[in-house]
Amino acid sequence: MAGKSEAERLIEDLRRANREKEAQSAVDEVLRRAVASPADVIASVGEPEAPGLHTLHHSPDLTILNVVWSPLMMLLPHNHNMWASIGIYTGREDNIVWERRGAEVAAVGAASLSEKDVYALPEDAIHSVSNPIGRLTGAIHVYGGDFFAPEGRSEWDPETLRERPFDLEAARERFREANRRFESGR
């Protein structure tokens, strides 16, 4: 893989997979092939340098992000109201899976993802994410819809586990704060 043309090819392959009858399964297969060679993904999207949600593709029916997690960063329990698939190309991403219990959630499972792993979340999934290691983690996150249109989405308070509306700007601020901590620790 070499440079931008490979990133464009990955995006085209994911867009094509999203048109399949079993879109998420097809997307997962594309992600598996991509992250099977982490060096190729890095050559395509670049070495992770700063925590953030780096948009590779955004449309009403598909969002593709290069998500870079800061060391030891955590994100609140939240939902997407659309399926999501995650492919790790460097580092680790730990997901806790939650289940609604009234206005609160309870942890019901977990998945520890490492380089070359692909993980699928169904449309109704609630999860929280952390990077448990001391270096940046890079992952391609693919969403079966418009990730940046958070209407009807929720997040849960980390202390009380009570539901509240999802705040996309607050999530972006968590990444900015993680980036500031990361930069000050270099």
Dihedral sign from CA coordinates of 166, 80, 36, 3: negative
Least confident stretch, 84-98, 121-135, 150-164: 150-164
CATH numeric code, 48-184: 2.60.120.10
Other beta carbons within 10 angstroms of residue 173's beta carbon come to: 11
Domain ranges of the chain: 48-184
**Tens-place pLDDT, residues 123-139:** 999 999 999 999 999 99
Q: Rounded to whole angstroms, how far apart are CA atoms 26 and 66? A: 19
| pTM for this model (two decimals) | 0.92
